[in-house]
Amino acid sequence: MLRSSYRWISDRYRWVIVAAGGLLGCLAIGAMFSLPVFLRPIADETGWSVTGISTAMTIGFLAMAFGSMAWGGLSDRIGPKPVLLVGSTLIAGSLAMASRATSLVEFQLVFGLVLGAATAAIFAPMMACVTGWFDTHRSLAVSLVSAGMGMAPLTMSPLAAWLVTLYDWRSSMLILAGVCALMIPLALLIKRPPPGVEEAQEVEAGASPQASMTVRDAVGSPQFLVLVLTNFFCCATHSGPIFHTVSYAVACGIPMIAAVTIYSIEGLAGMGGRVAFGLLGDRFGAKRILVLGLLTQALGALGYLLASGLVSFYIVAALFGFIYAGVMPLYAVLARENFPQRMMGTVIGATSMAGGLGMSLGPIAGGLIYDTFASYTWLYVGACGMGIGAFLIAMLFKPFPKGTAAQPAAA
């Protein structure tokens, strides 16, 4: 009777968790990725270099990287809600403070360090929470939350672009801070998975590695190391193209407002990609779809070099957005298939840390390349190389055998 009651609760409320998680991710990622839209207005008004402003994004990704495992581990101990509330408050506050920055260093620290660390408090705890609420349709649920994060280019980026046509960048960023304050009531909806759900998952796992694995066993396993390295190279592949898409399109002669629509097309395609890859992962296996997606992503990065007009940018952005966004939820699925729920925050936080480090390369590398060569060509060539690396590493991933326990780490 008790287990039936838990099942009744989880079957209904788990979709509330998915919806709230998607909205939280949309606002958090939208806050971070408002900077590509503000990049040129900030440079024009302040005289700060493109590289210097882009460095704020790099600092943000580094802060996300090193904060992810810490926030994820904390959510394992105290639950996701307190972590999400702190992160939501910091996101709104850091945007407000960044809008008042009077120097490049101040802007880099507030927008980069504080906002990046705050964003890290959203992704890993939220993904870990969702995987715990679902023992069926897990790939779809994770993909839907991720699709919510993919809504940012369709909502927050056009909002930022519209605001900078009406106000200066400082006022526009302050308004975005007010919008992000909506994250606080959303965070109150997030709850730990009911014990009945986690118990059912452990019974389902049986004598699998989940039954006896410790955190030390997990972080020392080849499966963990491959996931971490793959996510690093995967994110290094698409971080530069994502961040510099608007600036590259403008450099190709496309007006700012039209260039932002390219970013939005990429985001729209990404939403479809997240859901499609999730469904394919449920049917054909997460690893198989991940490997295929990584290879296609590497080749897709080169497509930007063929784009010149608005239509060609739309085509390339749609393809690239569909692929890079589609592969991202599969890391959480692979993590849950191979590691226990009780350490999901730590494991997903670690893979997010690697992804954040990879993401940190693109903004500053693209800025340096553009400032040096007045061209983005080598950015996309380098992105392709990183993508091939991600594909080759992912090929090495071997799931834990079913029905056997993980070997403890050596003393």
Q: Is 374 contained in some domain? A: yes
For the entire predicted model, the pTM comes to 0.70
Nearest to 107 by CA among 92, 118, 91, 96: 96
Instruction: Work out the end-to-end distance of the chain between its first and last CA atoms, rounded to an integer number of angstroms.
Output: 43
Q: Is 144 contained in some domain? A: yes
Residue partners of 401: CB distance under 8 A and separation at least 6: none
Q: Is 410 contained in some domain? A: no
What residue numbers bound the domain in which 242 lies? 2-394
3-state helix, strand, coil in the chain (%, to 5): 85, 0, 15
Q: Is 401 contained in some domain? A: no
Question: What is the domain count for the chain?
Answer: 1
Instruction: Indicate which CATH number applies to the domain containing 295.
Output: 1.20.1250.20
Residue partners of 82: CB distance under 8 A and separation at least 6: none
pLDDT (0 to 100) of residue 210: 56
pLDDT (0 to 100) of residue 182: 92
Q: Is 404 contained in some domain? A: no
The encoded tokens of residue 385 equal 């190389």
CA-to-CA distance for 357 and 60, rounded, in angstroms?
10
b/e 279-291 (16+ beta carbons within 10 angstroms → b) = ebbbeebbbebbb
pLDDT (0 to 100) of residue 205: 46
Per-residue pLDDT of 79-128, as tens digits, reads: 889 999 999 999 999 999 998 888 999 999 999 899 999 998 888 888 88
Q: Is 349 contained in some domain? A: yes
CA-to-CA distance for 348 and 395, rounded, in angstroms?
20
What are the C-alpha distances in Å from 135 to residues 9, 249, 342, 343? 14, 43, 14, 16
Q: Is 360 contained in some domain? A: yes
pLDDT-flagged residues of the chain (< 50): 1-2, 6, 198-199, 203, 205-207, 209, 404-411
Q: Is 411 contained in some domain? A: no
Residue partners of 18: CB distance under 8 A and separation at least 6: 130, 133, 141, 144, 145
